[in-house]
Amino acid sequence: MWRCAGSRPMRPLDTVILDAGLKDAIIKDCQDFLASKDWYMKRGIPFRRGYLLHGAPGSGKTSFIQSLAGEFRLDIYTISLAGSDMDDNSLMRLIAQLPERCIILMEDIDAAIKTTGRRDETNSSNRNQIQFTRHVTLSGLLNVLDGVSAQEGRILFATTNHIEALDPALKRPGRMDVHYEFKLASKSQITALFTLFFDDLGSENSAKEKPGRGDLTKLAVQFSDAIPEHMFSMAELQGYLMRYKAQPSEAAAEASRWVECELERRGTSAVSPQGYLMRYKAQPYEAAEEASRWVETELDRIDISTSVYSRSVSSSSRTQL
């Protein structure tokens, strides 16, 4: 049985800060889907759409889904596959009771998976060895996603922090039609978040500071310069800024110290190889491709030119020869 867990005011989409292009791409895809029922029907294609949002915790996946639901006036039906009373039959009953236009949300879908060795999508016996916590099997989940019991007209959003942990059968088109990665905060996101936090201070009587537009822009850049790119989630940065809700100057000035404390707590450094690799925890190819650029940036930051570095390496190489 479904029960209403409550309602909340609609969150404007412009308050969910994502990298350029990501937000617009998902919104446009949803708009196209919701307006294409006749197109699907005429071609005999099941009228449903699945989105897999993957990436670091706190990167805005769930917040964006909630905001998107408000934008399209759609209710969200959240399914916990790890529920103690959830099995294949109860999952099927829940899906069958859904209205035609809605969003189904399955959060942290990877956390509910138990795997037993390497899996092969073509081997149904292997699939049955993979179970979600308690009694929901992978086969049962796949059936509600695209089998005869699958609901028409719905939009599925699944989130995961570890896309590599998902079975290939679950990720394929028809079940999860499109995949979008939510990364840790980029420079543009960091700047935009700071601006969003302090943009309307001039209209608040309780504000300790009322910076002008030019001052706010400078402070936003100062804040962004202090935060290493792709090292912190938007949730972490928001938590930091909450300490300085009416004090943008202090927020910008103390950011470097906060970064040092956070990295020390993690046991890493922004300029160490480990700190660099932390940005690409599940992206080995990107980590390799961007390594040279990172080295150049770090050398520039500590006022060592690339040319001097190159001469040093060349000299060392000749000595070894």
pLDDT digits (tens, 9 = 90+) for 111-121: 665 443 344 44
Look over the chain and give the mean of its residue pLDDT values, rounded to a whole number.
Answer: 80
Residue labelled with tokens 């399209």: 72
The DSSP secondary structure of 134-171, one letter per residue, reads TB-BHHHHHHHHHSTTPPTTEEEEEEES-GGGS-HHHH
- Say what angle helices 187-198 and 213-226 make with each other, to 10 degrees: 140
Predicted pLDDT at 204: 53
Q: Which two tokens stand for residue 220?
A: 């936003």
Lowest mean pLDDT among 56-70, 145-159, 305-319: 305-319
Query: How far is it between the farthest Cα atoms of the chain?
Result: 75
Residue 78 Cα distances to 26, 64, 102, 149, 284, angstroms? 19, 15, 11, 18, 32
CA distance 34 to 26: 12
pLDDT (0 to 100) of residue 99:
87
**Tokens coding 106:** 């399955």
Three-point CA angle 194, 51, 10, nearest 5°: 50
Angstrom distance (rounded) from CA 3 to CA 80: 13
Which pLDDT value is given to residue 307? 41
Give the pLDDT confidence score for residue 149 in this predicted structure. Answer: 61
Q: Token digits for 84?
A: 């103690």
In tens, the pLDDT along 1-38 reads 777 766 777 888 999 999 879 999 999 999 999 999 99
Q: Using one digit for the tens of pLDDT, what is the confidence trace for 244-277?
A: 998 999 999 999 999 999 988 887 655 566 667 7
Instruction: Output the CA–CA distances (angstroms, integers) from residue 40 to 37, 43, 93, 152, 216, in the order listed.
Output: 5, 5, 25, 11, 48
- Give the tens place of pLDDT for each residue, 277-318: 766 766 787 788 888 877 776 666 544 333 433 333 333 333
Domain topology for 13-182: Rossmann fold (3.40.50)
Residue extents of the structural domains in the chain = 13-182, 187-282
pLDDT at 270: 58
In this prediction, residue 213 has a pLDDT band, given cuts at 50, 70 and 90, of low
Tell me what pLDDT residue 309 has: 36
For residue 304, the Cα-to-chain-centroid distance in whole angstroms is: 35
Average pLDDT, stretch 158-179?
92
